[in-house]
Structure 1
Amino acid sequence: MRQYFALLIFGIILAFSSCRTDFDTVASSGDLKFSKDTVYLDTVFKNIGSSTYQLKVYNRSKNDISIPTVQFKKGLNSKYRMTIDGMSGNEGKIFKDVTLLAKDSLYIFIETTADITDANPTDFLYTDEIQFDSGANLQEVALVTLIQDAIFLYPNQNPDGTKEKIKIDGKEVDGFYLSENDPTNGNELLFTNDKPYVIYGYAGVPENKTVTFEAGARIHFHANSGLYVGNNASLQINGTTSKTDKLENEVIFEGDRLESLYSDIPGQWKSVIFEKGSTNHAINHLTLKNAVIGLDFRSPSNTIEIKNSQIYNCAEYGILAQNAQIEGENIVINYAGLASLSCVYGGNYKFTHCTFNNNWSTPSQFAVNLSNSLAGATPETNPLTQATFNNCIIYGSSTNEFNLSKNTSASFVYQLNNCLLKFSSSTTNPNYQFKTDTEHYTNIILNENPKFYNVSENKFNIDKTSSAFAKGNQAYIIPTDILGITRTSPPDLGAYQSQDFPKK
């Protein structure tokens, strides 16, 4: 009997609940609140989808409301797309009768894919509005996106539907060879500053050809893409000193995501590979960011000159050199998952007025790594005939930022002159006797903070309070620093001439 009575009571409660009207909605009165009145979608290249951006919509009233329509002002013709609390509406453009409970909020996620022809021809902005309701209750949130025109370089599609390939490390990868007479792009071996370039796959430099990058060229690599300089091919980067922070005369290599979210994410693209047998390379005023390996030298035929260049945020190495010959001046490298500079399998290296720093988030990386061996190579060792560092800074967030991996079956010649070095662990290892080993170390400043201006923003300027101030040897001076500023005597260590910092 008690069971029947309980069921009766439950049925009455259920009946009354079904008759309640406090879950009914009322029409929106135009009093919605928004997390922002304009949503700025960061710069994108034409026809490359943007990141997803968020808008939050609030119902501050005591009533559950229904918004009759949420749509783009341009309707189905809009180049924007949105989802509302996971709903896709009509092609992501138009939504009907959107419910928003009292004192609650909903999320709108917005993205776009637009062509340069969709943008305003005077400022290259593509705009629209999200409209909530209509008539007297109409509320709008503006949308703004900057569209950049670009030259796109990518593998052709073969008749069987597969992509064009080139061979790297004995494997076929998506790629193509740059042409001097491409029917669409003209001379693809000359990168100018007229428009940015976007590269898909590996762009290869044909044998006996030279790829040249003019001052101000902007090169953007898609995911898993890079540049391949093969046998008897050459690379020339001809950047010059810039007068402003926009680096207008710098050659810049980076990923193809222009949104601020991606500005310092490592590993967005692969590498610039200099294959064994490549030749006659010169790099001046290059800024390279967010690769897996920035510059990957695989025993090129002759000496590579690298001057006034900076490499940041590489997932593995800033520069990886295998049995290479490099003369480097005014180089800055920071944030690398394994080493900022790694010279392995011997070679011949001379670096002057360089700043090798590594503030990667884990403690197992180095600013500089030197080795005369390579596992799996034949033979496994190769002579390191010279590794000289003059007036340099070797620093970072790890306890020890300098590593020597010496195999006694091949020569290992190295010398640090007038360098600031971080190596905090006391050791009896004869390789690291910085004060007493005069054969390998001269005038070493050990474990003193160089007081860089802002490491997290890759600003390695110093001022007169730095331990690197006026500690260089005049015999090794490079007359101007990475910014083109004349060095004083005695010179400062590293790539930057000291100056007063701007106020933060």
Structure 2
Amino acid sequence: MRQYFIFFIFGILLTTSSCRTDFYTVASSGNLKFSKDTVYLDTIFKNIGSATYQLKVYNKSKDDISIPTIQLKNGLNSKYRMTVDGMSGNNGKIFKDVTLLAKDSLYIFIETTADITDANPTDFLYTDQIQFDSGANLQEVALVTLIQDAVFLYPKINSDGTKEKIQIDGKSFDGFYLDENDPINGNELLFTNKKPYVIYGFAGVPVDKTVTFQAGTRIFFHANSGLYVDNKASLQINGTISTTDKLENEIIFEGDRLESLYANIPGQWNSVILANGSKNHSINHLTLKNAISGLNIKSPDNATIQIKNTQIYNCAEYGILAKNANINGENIVINYAGLSSLSCIYGGNYVFTHCTFNNNWQNTSHFAVNLSNILVGANPETNPLTQATFNNCIIYGSSTNEFNLNKSTNAAFVYQLNNCLLKFSNSTTNPDYQFKTDAVHYNQIILNENPKFFNVSQNKFNIDNASAAFAKGNQIYVIPIDIIGKNRTFHPDLGAYQSAAFTK
């Protein structure tokens, strides 16, 4: 019993001695180290909060130190806000007596929400500094944010506090119809390149109206937002060839998160939806990225939709989803789609020439091109595919088979590939996939050879003379100018890009 008592007393003494009651720090001597000397918070739109950025602060000394102040230089008036090792301080602006142990570090997380009026009027930069200590021990880390002015379009708030709604396929979404006589924005059916536009919810084009996008327009869609072109309404996207890497004449649709982290994340916004019965659509020099489905075309009228010189990237489901549509596509590039880069379902009429349909989505259950005359649940479930013609195209990707036919014999299914490079690696006895012997559907097919794109991960689908697609196009189908304005009047390459070797 006495032995247990001795162990008990020893345990109490050990525990007591291990609890520091003599914890002391010394004042910071101005020798803190930082993970960076400037924190660049990526471009934001006015009055929209930024992402959270990180700064790490190191105490390399052998002493536990106390930092008298960590604060923003502009104090409580700063548009930045911080947390320091989980502490919020005085409104996220000023922190007193922050302890940093020897050979240890702490994290500072930084955000901002600022107006264009807060920025420098010459360069639109908003800046501040994080100050550590003061006087002779003062150390500073700069904060820099670029602020963009923009036109904001969003649903109104009803008298009962609910948001304005728009009906799409019988479902209700947050949204509004664009007004050609809006008291604040003027003609909302005309988008120009004077300022970028930020859209919340679905922006609808009213019946019998036309929405026009001028060259150089930039559209940023918030989460769950999109563009809806209603019955008998029209879409005109009028981009032109750009002469610099800034794509100054391209029309760009993307999400409203401008941080580099979000540059290639799919599904940030919903889609451009062309409703049943919409009409007279023309799309030229559009770059669309990071949507759920890029172009969602729902059985418009019989007039042909012109889609030219268009790039669609990083869509969670489809690059183009066309339902019983009538499309003429030239110089189109699509890559990275969770289900299919191009999916033409429930029949329709399609001609695609000098297009690059690639799909390097991270799983193997995707296609570059999917054709179908079926729609489960429709009445009837089949509809004629009267034409699906691909001329001088590339159909490729990371999956074993990038071309899929979903065919019912209850309706017409007419398709033909002429002078195309195609990836379909599995041998099959299915008569629909006899690429070398079926001259009705396949002519001059280059099968399973590498097009050697410049850089698929960066969506650069240019080729050179090492490509299997080099100079393999048929002059009969040639589109004289490629997607970036190069001449391909002779020796055409397959796909949307003409290589430099034969360019006059």
- For 1:387, the equivalent position in structure 2 comes to 388
User: For structure 1, which runs of at least 5 residues remain unmatched after alignment?
Assistant: none
Equivalence for 1:457: 458
Matched with 2:328 is 327
Q: How far off is 1:118 after superposition?
A: 0.6
Secondary structure of residue in 1 paired with 2:283: strand
Contact 2:128 2:142 in 1 (8 A): yes
Asked if 1:411 corresponds to 2:392, the answer is no
Distance 1:175 1:300 in 2: 21
Closer, same or farther in 2 for the Cα pair 1:387/1:20, shift >3 Å? Answer: same
- Structure 2 distance, partners of 1:158, 1:172, is 15
Amino acid of the residue matched to residue 342 of structure 1?
S
Indicate the residue corresponding to 2:236 in structure 1: 236
Report the counterpart of residue 430 of structure 1 in structure 2.
Answer: 431
CA offset at residue 14 of structure 1?
Answer: 4.8
Tell me if the contact between 2:213 and 2:236 (Cα under 8 Å) persists in the aligned partners.
yes
In 1, the alpha carbon distance for the partners of 2:54 and 2:115 equals 22
Shift of the 14–397 alpha-carbon distance from structure 1 to 2, 3 Å rule, reads: closer
**Structure 1 residue 27: deviation in Å?**
1.0
| Corresponding residue of 2:312 | 311
Distance 1:341 1:3 in 2: 78
1:102 Cα deviation after fit: 0.4
Question: 1:299 aligns to what?
Answer: 299
| 5+ residue gaps, structure 2 | none
Q: Which residue in 2 is equivalent to 1:31?
A: 31
Match of 2:151 in 1: 151
What are the superposed Cα offsets for residues 344-401 of structure 1, whole Å, 9 maximum, x if unpaired?
0000000000000000000010000000010111110000000000000000000000
Q: CA deviation at 1:15?
A: 5.1
> Residue type of the partner of 1:399?
T
| One-letter identity of the residue aligned with 1:196 | P
Give the residue type in structure 1 aligned to 2:128: D
Matched to 1:118, the amino acid is: D
**SS, match of residue 330 in structure 2:** strand
Q: Is the counterpart of residue 6 in structure 1 residue 4 in structure 2? A: no
Q: Secondary structure at the match of 2:223?
A: coil
Structure 2: how far apart are the matches of 1:10 and 1:329? 82
- d(CA) in 2 for partners of 1:250 and 1:178? 22
2:252–2:286 Cα contact (<8 Å) kept: yes
- Name the structure 2 match of 1:69: 69
2: CA distance, partners of 1:203 / 1:18: 63
Letter in 2 for 1:415: Q
1:25 Cα deviation (Å)?
1.1
Contact 2:481 2:489 in 1 (8 A): no
Q: Could you give the per-residue CA deviations for residues 427-467 of structure 1, whole angstroms, max 9, x where no partner exists? A: 00000000000000000000000000000000000001111
Displacement of 1:319 in angstroms is: 0.1
Mapped partners of 1:15, 1:220: distance in 2: 61
AA in 1 matched with 2:406 = S
Q: CA deviation at 1:489?
A: 1.5
Cα shift at 1:499: 2.2
What displacement does 1:16 show?
4.4
1:240 & 1:7 partners in 2: Cα distance?
85
Amino acid at match of 2:229: V
Structure 1, 485-494 or 138-147: larger mean CA deviation: 485-494
Partner of 1:168: 168
For residues 322-346 of structure 1, what are the alpha-carbon distances to aligned partners after superposition, in whole Å with 9 as ceiling and x for unaligned?
A: 0000000000000000000000000
**TM-score when normalising by structure 2:** 0.98
| SS at structure 2 position matched to 1:449 | coil
The change in CA–CA distance for 1:11 and 1:365 in structure 2 (over 3 A counts) is closer
Note the C-alpha offset of 1:11: 4.2
Letter in 2 for 1:489: F
Cα distance in structure 2, aligned partners of 1:20 and 1:164? 61
Whole-angstrom distance in 1 between the partners of 2:372 and 2:159:
47
How high is the TM-score relative to the length of structure 1?
Answer: 0.98
1:359 aligns with 2:354: no
Cα drift, residue 24 of structure 1: 1.5
Percent identity between matched residues is 78
> 2 CA distance for matches of 1:15 and 1:189?
75
Residue identity opposite 2:45 in structure 1: F
Residues of 2 paired with 1:328 and 1:495: CA distance?
11
User: Any runs of at least 4 consecutive aligned residues in structure 1 with deviations exceeding 6 A, and if so which?
Assistant: none
Secondary structure at the residue paired with 1:43?
strand
Match of 2:126 in 1: 126
Residue 340 of structure 2 corresponds to residue 339 of structure 1: yes
Deviations 1:446-493 (A, max 9, x none): 000000000000000000111101101000000000001101422110
Quote the Cα distance in structure 2 between the aligned partners of 1:352 and 1:381: 26
Q: Who is 1:397 aligned against?
A: 398
Q: Which amino acid aligns with 1:490?
A: H
Letter in 2 for 1:228: Y
Equivalent pairs, count = 499
C-alpha distance after superposition, 1:201-256 (max 9, x if no partner): 00000111000000000000000000000100000000000001110000000000
1:186 counterpart = 2:175? no
CA RMSD of aligned residues (A): 1.1
Q: Whole-Å Cα distance in 1 between the matches of residues 314 and 441 of structure 2?
A: 30
Instruction: Name the amino acid aligned to 2:466.
Output: T
Between the aligned partners of 1:16 and 1:370, the Cα distance in structure 2 is 76
Give the drift of 1:4.
3.2
AA of the residue aligned to 1:310: Q
Distance 1:15 1:253, change over 3 A: closer
The 5 Å alignment of 1:452-491 reads: 452-491=453-492
Q: Quick one: structure 1 residues 72 and 411, their matched pair in 2 at CA, closer, same or farther if it must change by over 3 Å?
A: same
CA shift for structure 1 position 20: 5.9
1:276 aligns with 2:257: no
Measure how far apart 1:29 and its partner are. 0.8
SS at match of 2:5: helix
Q: Which amino acid aligns with 1:270?
A: N
SS in 2 for 1:243: coil
**CA gap 1:351/1:102 in 2 versus in 1, 3 angstroms:** same
Distance in 1 between the 2:18 and 2:142 partners? 42
Task: Give, in whole Å, the separation in 1 of the partners of 2:9 and 2:98.
Answer: 37
C-alpha contact (below 8 Å) 2:478/2:489 kept by paired residues: no
Partner of 1:76, secondary structure, is helix
Q: Give the whole-Å Cα distance in 1 for the aligned partners of 2:231 and 2:293.
A: 20
SS in 1 for 2:252: strand
SS for the counterpart of 1:241 is coil
Contact 2:360 2:399 in 1 (8 A): yes
* CA displacement at 1:87 relative to structure 2: 1.3
Cα distance change on mapping 1:296 and 1:16 into 2, 3 Å: closer
SS at match of 2:453: coil
Post-superposition CA distance 1:413-440 (Å, at most 9, x none): 0000000000000000000000000000
